[in-house]
A and B are shown apart, each in its own frame.
Chain A
Amino acid sequence: MPSTDNNLVRIRDLHFSRGHSKIFNGIDIDIPKGKITAIMGPSGTGKTTLLKLIGGQLKPQQGTILFHGENIPAMKTKKLYEVRKKMGMLFQSGALLTDMSVFDNIAFPLREHTELPEVMIRDLVLMKLQAVGLRGARDLNPSQLSGGMARRVAFARAIALDPEMIMFDEPFTGQDPISMGVLVQLIRSMNEALELTSVMVSHDIEETMAIADKVYIISQGKIMGYGSPEEMNQSDSPWISQFVHGEADGPVHFHYQARSYSDDIFAGENRD
């Protein structure tokens, strides 16, 4: 059933566990078309897992993930691979194929999925590289790239097939201020120029808030809050306020759960 609303992805009642650990406990998320949606939350809350669930690399125990109105977890492998051609993903590590040059990495999806002649593939690859400012790096190997350059190449590869949606997994982690600025500007400008729908997982508050249209904050398997960046900044929820303003203590305690400090210290006195 094709979707009629303005959301490209609709997640409803999503439950996902790993072993005994519950990652998502019935969350609902909408990803609007043509917008940048940020998924934020503390480390280890399952943000990357959420992207893998949307991409069909993991299957939830319960719930639906509708992409264009079709439920991703229920798709057969062949259909899933067809749908993935409409998605791009930028991994935290870049995930570039290390035995290929930058040029071949970007040409890879075009060679795999199209019958285009090599001359046209060359032009397309150069256009994508020009868009990310790395046309001059086409002959380098991934091992010769800096972290920021690797992510820009991965970005160029992710948009090689002109997808409808692109997912970014921690795009700013470990970047110097200049690389971060370049990536922020690239994500925003590409989203507008290519009319992309972007889903960005990050815990870099400032950069993410600057370009996101909508923000979801997740923790402990639940949605702690959602809305525009301004709404999140002005939220009166102590939890969201602590997260957004980076306060060391608050509802999320500084100390990991343990028995009382005095009990622990005095327990040592009874040792032989």
Chain B
Amino acid sequence: MFDWFAQLGRSAIDFFARLGSEVLLFLQAIAAFKALVFRPALIIQQLFSIGVRSMLIIIVSGFFVGMVLGLQGYNTLIDFGAEESLGVMVALSLVRELGPVVTALLYAGRAGSALTAEIGLMKATEQLSGLEMMAVNPVERILAPRLLAGIISMPLLAAMFSAVGVFGGYLVGVDMLGVDTGAYWSQMQARVDFEQDIIQGVIKSVVFGVVTTWIAVYEGYTCLPTSEGVSRSTTRTVVYSALAVLGLDFLLTALML
């Protein structure tokens, strides 16, 4: 009985210790952003590695998700004689929900796992220790540029996902199934609200950008410096990011509706 309590206490202490160290490290990384203003090359390099290299998977996925939305939406709306509203349905689904959420999930799988593995391997091969001994703070030099690049990349990638998705929906709905072109675009233009829909989507993707990138860099930075440790951290990055994105999506939707 006492063992059970002791175990519970130890787990609680470990949890709060980890949470505390995570928050402190996050604040250090945020504080390092101001120094990055004078070193744009560091951010540009990471924007390329995190953002540009994720574009292919985001664009291809967005295109297929848009096509599926067009197909499913048409088959549902036609029962009500409302197939002209296909453009609105596709656009709202993408801008409000699927764009930010699916982009974040894909980003966690593509860029997040790569970030964790990269930083984890730097730790395992003593490169992070080497930086410390060269009087270079790894939080400022390694973590902060990646975090900032992730925060900038995510809304841009989500916007691309939604834009390509709208085009995919158009291809299926208008070109294949015969929905009127004018109705597809004009209803979308009339019903998609900038503040209500687009800004909400942007807010979500920024939050997902912060959370998923932070999970990725933190897991890499704190992983066990062994091949198994790096592998476990990489897995945790994808799992934690997916759970955090889906949980936060519900929370943010409830708050902003």
CB-defined contacts of A81 to chain B, threshold 8 Å: 135, 137
Complex formed: what's the CA distance from A97 to B118 in Å? 12
Q: Which residues of A contact B125 (CB under 8 A)?
A: 93, 95, 98
Q: Is A93's CB under 8 angstroms from B133's CB?
A: no
For window 100-129 of A, CB contacts with B under 8 Å fall at 108-109, 112-113
The CA of A95 and the CA of B122, in the complex, are separated in Å by 8
Task: Classify chain A's interface size.
Answer: 20 to 34
Q: Is the CB of A84 within 8 A of B126?
A: no
Kindly provide the distance from the CB of B257 to the nearest chain A CB, expressed in whole angstroms: 44
Which of B130, B136, B137 neighbours the largest number of chain A CB atoms within 10 Å of its CB?
A: B130
- Write out the residue numbers on chain A whose beta carbons fall within 8 Å of the beta carbon of B135: 81-82, 84-85, 109, 112-113
Assess whether B134 is interfacial by the CB under 8 Å rule.
Answer: yes
Q: In the assembled complex, how far is the CB of residue A53 from the closest CB belonging to chain B, in whole angstroms?
A: 13
> Is B127 interfacial (CB 8 A cutoff)?
yes
Q: Number of B interface residues at 8 Å Cβ cutoff, please give it.
A: 12
- Are A88 and B127 in contact, with the CB atoms below 8 A? no
Q: Does B132 contact A (CB under 8 A)?
A: yes
At the interface, yes or no: B129 with Cβ under 8 Å from chain A? yes
Contact of A87 among B126, B133, B136, B137 (CB under 8 A): B133
Cβ contact within 8 Å between B132 and A84: yes
Interface residues of A in 221-236 (CB under 8 A from B): none
Q: Which of A52, A87, A97 contacts B127 (CB 8 A)?
A: A97
Chain A residues 58 to 84 lying within 8 A of chain B, measured CB to CB, are 77, 81-82, 84
Q: How far is the CB of A23 from chain B (nearest CB, A)?
A: 17
Identify the A interface with B (CB < 8 A).
Answer: 52, 55, 57, 77, 81-82, 84-85, 87-89, 91-93, 95-98, 108-109, 112-113, 157, 161
